[in-house]
Amino acid sequence: GSSKDNAGSKSADPVTVKIGLLKNVTHAPAFVAIQKGYLQTRLGDNAKIEVQGFNNGADFSTALATGQIDIGYVGPSPVINQYVRSKNIKILSGANNGGAVLVARKGSGVTSVKDLAGKLVAIPTKGSTNEISLRLLLRDQGLQVTTDKSGTQLIAMAPADTLTAMKQGQVDATLLPEPWGTQIANEGIGDIVVDWDRIPPNKGNYPLTIIVSGDGFLKDHRDLAKSVLLANEDAIKFIHDNPDETYSLVSDELKELTGKGLDAELIEAALSHLSLTTDIDRDALKTMAQVAVDAGYVKGVGEAGLDLTGLYDLSLLKETLEGK
Amino acid sequence: MIRVEAVGKTFMQRDGAGYTALEDIDFEIGKGEFVSILGPSGCGKSTLLNVVAGLERADSGRVEANGKEVAQPGPDRIVVFQDHALYPWLTVLENVAFGLKQKGIKKKERRERAMEQIRAVHLGKFADRYPHELSGGMKQRVAIARALVMDPEILLMDEPFAALDEQTRLLLHKELEQIWLNTRKTILFITHNIREAVTLSDRVLVMSTRPGRIKKEFRVRATRPREPGDSVLHHIESQIMDTLAAELEKVAKEEYGNDYTLEKSPLSHSAASNLGDGI
Amino acid sequence: MIRVEAVGKTFMQRDGAGYTALEDIDFEIGKGEFVSILGPSGCGKSTLLNVVAGLERADSGRVEANGKEVAQPGPDRIVVFQDHALYPWLTVLENVAFGLKQKGIKKKERRERAMEQIRAVHLGKFADRYPHELSGGMKQRVAIARALVMDPEILLMDEPFAALDEQTRLLLHKELEQIWLNTRKTILFITHNIREAVTLSDRVLVMSTRPGRIKKEFRVRATRPREPGDSVLHHIESQIMDTLAAELEKVAKEEYGNDYTLEKSPLSHSAASNLGDGI
Amino acid sequence: MTTRWRKALFLILLLVIWETAYRTMHWGWRFPSALQTMQTFYDGIANGQLLDATMGSLRRILIAFSLSCVIGMTLGVLFARSRLLDETFGFVVVALQTVPSIAWLPFAIIWFGLNDMSVIFITTIGATWTMTIASRSGIRNIPPIYLKSAQMFGTGRGFRLFYQVMVPAAIPQLITGMRMAWAFAWRALVSGELIARGIGLGQLLEEGRSLGDTSVMLCIVLVIAILGTISDHLVFKRIENRIWTQYGLNAAKT
Amino acid sequence: MTTRWRKALFLILLLVIWETAYRTMHWGWRFPSALQTMQTFYDGIANGQLLDATMGSLRRILIAFSLSCVIGMTLGVLFARSRLLDETFGFVVVALQTVPSIAWLPFAIIWFGLNDMSVIFITTIGATWTMTIASRSGIRNIPPIYLKSAQMFGTGRGFRLFYQVMVPAAIPQLITGMRMAWAFAWRALVSGELIARGIGLGQLLEEGRSLGDTSVMLCIVLVIAILGTISDHLVFKRIENRIWTQYGLNAAKT
Ligand SMILES: Nc1ncnc2c1ncn2[C@@H]1O[C@H](COP(=O)(O)OP(=O)(O)OP(=O)(O)O)[C@@H](O)[C@H]1O
Ligand SMILES: Nc1ncnc2c1ncn2[C@@H]1O[C@H](COP(=O)(O)OP(=O)(O)OP(=O)(O)O)[C@@H](O)[C@H]1O
Ligand SMILES: [Mg+2]
Ligand SMILES: [Mg+2]
C-alpha cells in the first residue's frame, strides 16, 4: 500500500493509489471515473493512479486484504467473506445496484427457476454475489444446491468460458453480471429467465458493485479515499447525463483491461439493467451474508449470527453527500 | 565340422574409412575337435566367431558348418558369450529352457531336460534363482548348460571365462574338459589367455592383427585330462608366447605411440629369453 | 617396513551376526621387499590391505608402518586399487598431480613431477586425456604413476591387474618389476592369480578363508628379472596351488552346496597330480 | 524401528510448533492453524466431499495414464523400430515433450469444453510423450547380444522375439519412464483441475481459494501430498526397485 | 545431412497439409490455419508483445531456477551428510516433491499477491525438492573409494574433500537432477502464469483464450515448445551428455 510517511504531507511526496476493479460493465462508474480523469482530478496531481483489473471478487478481496491494492470496486459477497476472516477492510460506498440476470440455454428446457432442479448452473466464482442471488432464487422455489442430479448443481466458471460452455451445451443456465446475459440472449444461445429487476434480494435493488478500502489506506489517507468517493459520484452523474458518451468510454477502458472492447448496444443494454447509486442497503447485505453462512462459506459464526458492524464506514459517504 | 574358406570382412568405420577386420581366413575343424583361437585384442577373433555362428555375414569367402553353408544363426551352433548374456528376467531354469521353448517342446519335458543340464553343471539348487543372484562363475555355468541343452553339434565359445577370477576359471576349465570328454562336441574356443588355450585344446590357432589373419597353428599333443604341470604344455605355451610377442608389441606401440620403443620393450626381451628356454 | 601383529577384524553383517574377516594375522615385510598375498575370494585380502593402509581400523592387534603405528591413511602408504579409482573429472596429469596439490606444492613443480612419472609409465602423450579415453591398462598405469609421484615408502596394491586382459597384464608385470627394481619400494601386492604372485614377489603369503588367516608362506628364490619359463617359478606355483586346493574346495562347496562332492572335485585331483609333478 | 519413532515424534512436534506459531505469531487468515486444518479434514471426510474429489481425481488420472501408456508405448516401439520415422518425426515428439501440457488446456477447452474430457486430454498429453521417449529408448538400448542370442535359440525375428525378449528386456526402462510420466501426469491433472471444472481435488482447491479458506487449501495440498507419496514412492518406486533388483541393475547403485 | 533435409521437407509438408486441412475441413475457430498462425507470430514479434512475454517468462524461470538450485543443493548436502536429518525430515522432502507446485499457488497468492512473486515462488518450489533429492543422492552415491583415496592423498575430511572431490564426483547426478528440475520448473511456470498475472507466455495464452483467438494460443504453444526444446535438449541434455561422456558414464549406454 502507500507508505505511511506520506500521510499528512500531501503536497510533498507523491502518493501511489492502487485501485482495483473487476473487468465487468457493471463497474461502469469506475471506468468512467478513470477515463474521464475524475479520479486524477479529485486525487490531485500528487497522486499516481495504478489500476489493476481482476477476474473475480475473490482475487480482489485477497489483494485488498493483503495490501496489494488500496481501494476499489467489487461485489459485496467476497468482501463479506474476506471481512469475516481478516477484519481489515471497510465498505465505503455503493456504486450500482442490480445488473445480473439468470439466463437459460436454448434447449435446456428451463423456462422458470423451478426447472433448475437437476440442472447445471454456472456462476462466476464460488461465493460471488451472483451465487448468493442464485441461492436465494432457488431457496424461494424450495430447491436444493447439491453435488449430484438430485438438486441444482453449481459450477464456477469465468463468464467468457460460460459463453463457450453454453454454446457446447455443457451448462444449462447461468446467473451472471451484464452484459454477458444480454450477449448470450443476443447471440441466440439462451433466453433470459429472470430479469435483473427480479433477481433477489430486494428485486434487483441490492448492491452489486461497491467501493471498498483497506483499513490501512483509510487510516493513512482518509482524504484520498474521500476523493475516490467524490470521483465516483462525478462518474455516476456523468453517466446519467451523457449515456451515449459513456458507452465508448466503457469500451475503451475494457479494451485497456482485457485487450478487447465491447459493442455499444451491449453496454447500453447492460447499463439499462442496473441502477447506479451510492446507497448501501445494509439489510440486503445482511440477507446475503446469511445465505453465505448457510452455504458453509463463512465458518465460525456463533449463535449470535454475523456481526458486520465493523465492515461499514459510511461516514465518508455522508461527508461527500453533505458537502455537496 | 566347421570349414572356413577365404573369409574376409571389412567394417565401415565412423569416419567412413573401411577397416579390414578379417582377411583371407582359412581353416577347418574336425568333428569332435577342440580348437582355440588366440590373438591380441581387436584382431578379429569375435568377428570370426560371429561369422561362423551366422550372427554376422562375411564379405567374401564361405563358411560351412556340418556340411551346410552358414547363412543365419541356428540351434546347431550355439554361442557361449563372454558376459554370459543370460536373460535377467528369467530364472536359471527358464533361461536354460528358453531354447527348448522356441523349439516347441512341452513344458514338462522342457523342465526335465533343462534340469538335467543344470544338475550337470552342479547348480541343481539354484534353478529358481535369477541371474543377478549368482556369482560370475555360476552364471557362466548356466550359459554353458543353456548351450548344452540344445544339444548343438557345434559349441562356439567367445572368451567365456575372461571375466572370472583365477580360481573359478580353473574350476571351469576342468568342468569344460570333462563335459567335452563326455559329449565330444566340436568346440571353437576364443581366448586371449595362452595357458587357457593350451590347457583345453587339441589345436591352437594364433591370429595376427591388422588385418586379422591366421598366423600360425599349434597342435597340443598332451594326454587328457590335462594337468597343469605337464611339461608339454609349458613348452607349447612358450612357443605361442614367442609367436605372439611381435603382435603384442604392435598393439602396445599403437597404444603408447612412440613413447614405447622396441629397445625398451620388456616383452621382446622376455619373449627372447623365453624362446631360448623353450628350445 | 610393515609389521602386522595379531590383527583381527569382525564385520557386523546385515542380519546382525558378526563375521570374522581377519583373525590373528601376524607378519612382517622388510624394507624394499615385494610380498604378495594370495587367497580365495572373500578370504579378507582387501580388508587386510585396508587395515595396513589405515582406511579401516582393526578390532584387535596393531599395525606398524615404518616404525609408526597406523591410525589413518597417509601419503607414506599409497594404495593402487583394482579399478584404478582415478577421478573421472580430472585429466591424467591432474589425477597424477592430485596428491601433490594436497601437499601444497606449487603448480609448476607439481606439473613437472607429475609429467616425469607419467613419462615413466609411457603415457607422455596422454597427459591431457580424461580417464575414460584410456584403455584399462593405461588407466592402471596412471594409477601407478599417481602412487609413485607421492614417493611413498610403501605401495599397497589391491589386485591392480585383475581387470586387464592377459597381454596387457604381462606388459604391466614387466613394467612393475622394472619400477620396483629401480625404486626398491616396499610393496604389498594382493592377487588371486598364482602365476602373477610368483612372477613378481620375493615372498608369497597364502591366506585361508573363514576366518581369514595366514596359512603358509613361500619364498621365491628366482633371479630377477623374472622369466616366465623359469622352472623355479613353475615349481613354487605347483606348491602354492596345492596349498590353495583345500581352500578353493571350501569356497566351491559353499557356492554349489552338496551338489559338489569331494570325490568329483577335479581340483583336488589336479592338485595332487600337480604336487607329484612338483616333486 | 527407532527411525519410525523419531519420525512420529517429529510429526507431533511439528504439529505442536505449528499450532503454537499460529497462536503466538497471529498468522490469522494467511495460514490455517493445525486444529483448523484437522477440523476441515474431518468435515471433508464426514460430508463426503473430500472423498468424492479424491475419487474423481484418481479416476481421471488413471484413465489418462492408461491411455498415455498405451499410446506412448505404441509410438515408442514404432520409433525404435523405424529409423526413418525416428529421424523425421522424432524431433517433434521431443519438442512436444518439453511443452507443459497445461499449455494445451485452452485448446482442450475449445475442443471438448470445460469438462472432464479436457482434463483427461491434457493429463494424457502430459504423460504420453515421456512414455514414448522412454519406450523408444528402452527398446533401442536392449543389448544387441540379447537379440542375437534369441535368434540363435530360434525365436526368429518376428512377434516371438518381440514379446519374449524385447518387451521384458525393455521393462526396467519402461517402469522408470512410467514413474516419470506419472509425475508429469499428476502435475498436469492438478493444474488442469484448478482451471477446468469437475469434481476433483484441483477444483476443491480452487473453491477454497475463491472463498479465501486457507484450511481447505492446506487440506487439499496435504491430500495431494499423501496421494503423490503413495503413488510415487509406495507404488512406482517399489515396483521400479523390485524390477531393477530382479534384473540385477542395482548393483552399481549401492 | 539427408536427415536434415528430410526434416525440413517434413516440416514444409506438415504446413501444407495443415493449411489444406484447415480450408477443406472447415475447422473455423476451433483451430487456426497455418497462415493465421504465422501472421499472428509475425504480428507478435513486430509489436514486441511476444518478445516481452518471452523475456518475462525467461526472467522468472531463471530467477526461480537459480534459487531452487541454491536451496536444493544446500538442503541436499545437509541431508547427505546428516543421517539424523535424513531419517527424520527426509520423508517430508519426498512428500513435498510429489506435490505439483501449482497446488501452492493459492497460498502464494495470499502471501505475495497475484504477481511475479507468486509465480516465482511456485516455480522455485517446483524445482527445489527435485534438486534436493538429486543432490542428496548424488553425494550419497559417490563411490566410497573416491573418498578413501582422497584422504590417502591428504585432502583431509573437511572443506577440501568437499569441493575437490565430493562436488565434482556428484556433478553428473546434479546435472541430471537439474534437467529434471528444469522440466518441473517449466511446467510450474506455465501453469502459474496461466492463473496469476504479469507479462508472460502463460498470461498471453490466457489472454488468447479469453479472446477466443486460437492463432494466438497456438503461437504461444509453439514458442513454449521451441523454448522448451532449446533449454532441455540443446542446453541441458548437451551439458548432461558432455559431462556423462567426460566422466565415462555413457559407455554402458551405447
Ligand atoms: N560393428 C563394427 N563396426 C566397426 N568396426 C568393428 C565392428 N565390430 C568390430 N569392429 C572392429 O573390428 C576389429 C575386430 O573386432 P573383434 O571384436 O572381432 O576383435 P576381438 O579379437 O574379438 O577383440 P577382443 O579380444 O578385444 O574381444 C576391432 O578393431 C573392432 O574395432
Ligand atoms: N563392510 C563390510 N561389511 C560386512 N562384511 C564385509 C565388509 N567388507 C568385507 N566384508 C566381508 O569380509 C570378507 C572379506 O572381504 P574382503 O573384501 O577382504 O575379501 P577379499 O579377499 O578381498 O576378496 P576378493 O578376492 O573377492 O576381493 C568377505 O566375506 C566380505 O563379505
Ligand atoms: Mg572379442
Ligand atoms: Mg578384494
Position A296 scores a pLDDT of 81
pTM: 0.83
Q: How far is CA C127 from the centre of its chain?
A: 26
User: Residue C269 — very low, low, confident or very high, per pLDDT cuts 50/70/90?
Assistant: very low
- Reply yes or no on whether the pLDDT at C78 is more than 70: yes
pLDDT in tens, D40-93: 899 888 888 889 899 999 999 999 999 999 999 999 999 988 888 888 888 888
DSSP per position, A196-231: GGGSTTTTT-SEEEEEEEEHHHHHH-HHHHHHHHHH
User: Residue C190 — very low, low, confident or very high, per pLDDT cuts 50/70/90?
Assistant: very high
CA of A284 to the centre of ligand 4 (A): 86
D-chain CB neighbours of E233 within 8 Å are 94, 98
Instruction: Indicate the average pLDDT of chain C.
Output: 81
Q: Identify which has the larger pLDDT, E55 or C247.
A: E55
Q: Identify which has the larger pLDDT, B20 or C88.
A: C88
Percentage above 90 pLDDT, chain C = 17
Q: Which residue of D has its CA nearest to A167?
A: D113
- Reply yes or no on whether the pLDDT at A255 is more than 90: no
What does DSSP assign to residue A26? G
Q: CB pairs below 8 Å between B and C: how many?
A: 119
* Range scoring the smallest mean pLDDT among A266-275, B256-265, D208-217: B256-265
E-chain CB neighbours of D253 within 8 Å are 141
| B contact chains, 3+ CB pairs < 8 A | C, D
pLDDT in tens, A197-249: 888 888 888 888 899 999 888 888 888 888 888 888 888 888 888 888 888 88
Annotate A151-180 with b (16+ C-beta within 10 A) or e (fewer): bbbbbbbbbbbbbbbbebebbbbbbbbbbb
Is C19 near ligand 2, meaning CB less than 6 Å away?
yes
Q: Do the Cβ atoms of E143 and C98 come within 8 Å?
A: no
B-chain CB neighbours of D160 within 8 Å are 102
Distance CA C147, CA C145 (A): 5
E touches A, CB cut-off 8 Å, minimum 3 pairs: yes
Is B45 near ligand 1, meaning CB less than 6 Å away?
yes
Work out the average pLDDT over D5-15: 87
* Residue located via cell numbers 593405461: C138
Residue nearest to atom 9 of ligand 2 (CA): C47
Work out the average pLDDT over E30-58: 89
User: Residue E75 — very low, low, confident or very high, per pLDDT cuts 50/70/90?
Assistant: very high
B-chain CB neighbours of C257 within 8 Å are 125
- Reply yes or no on whether the pLDDT at C198 is more than 60: yes
Work out the average pLDDT over C104-118: 91
Q: What are the C-alpha distances in Å from E122 to residues B197, D183, E187?
A: 66, 16, 10
Position B257 scores a pLDDT of 60
| E contact chains, 3+ CB pairs < 8 A | A, C, D
Distance CA E169, CA B235 (A): 49
- Reply yes or no on whether the pLDDT at C270 is more than 50: no
Q: Identify which has the larger pLDDT, A113 or C229.
A: A113
pLDDT in tens, E183-214: 899 989 998 888 877 778 988 888 888 777 88
Q: Which three cell numbers stand for residue A135?
A: 441461492
Question: Helix, strand, coil shares of chain A as percentages rounded to 5?
Answer: 45, 20, 35
Position C110 scores a pLDDT of 92
Is B25 near ligand 1, meaning CB less than 6 Å away?
no
What does DSSP assign to residue A152? B
Taking only residues 167 to 206 of chain B, the set having a beta carbon closer than 8 angstroms to any beta carbon of chain C reads 167-168, 170-171, 174-175, 178, 192-195
Q: Which three cell numbers stand for residue C153?
A: 615408502
Tens place of pLDDT per residue across chain B (279 aa)? 888 888 888 887 767 777 888 888 888 898 889 999 988 777 888 888 989 988 888 888 888 888 888 888 888 889 998 888 899 999 999 999 999 999 888 999 999 999 998 988 888 888 998 988 887 788 888 998 999 898 888 999 998 888 777 777 887 888 888 888 888 889 999 988 888 888 899 999 988 877 788 888 888 888 888 877 777 888 888 888 878 777 777 766 766 665 554 344 444 444 333 333 322
Q: Identify which has the larger pLDDT, C136 or A12.
A: C136
- Reply yes or no on whether the pLDDT at E25 is more than 90: no
Q: Which element (helix H / strand E) includes A249?
A: helix A243-258
Is C40 near ligand 2, meaning CB less than 6 Å away?
no
- Reply yes or no on whether the pLDDT at A302 is more than 80: no
Residue nearest to atom 16 of ligand 2 (CA): C44
Ramachandran bin of A44, using left for φ above 0, alpha for ψ from -120 to 50, beta for the remaining angles = left
- Reply yes or no on whether the pLDDT at C273 is more than 80: no
Query: Shortest CA distance to E100 belongs to which of E136, E125, E117?
Result: E125
Is C22 near ligand 2, meaning CB less than 6 Å away?
no
Q: Do the Cβ atoms of D153 and B53 come within 8 Å?
A: no
What does DSSP say about strands B77-80 and B34-38: parallel, antiparallel, or unpaired?
Answer: unpaired
Residue nearest to atom 23 of ligand 2 (CA): C42
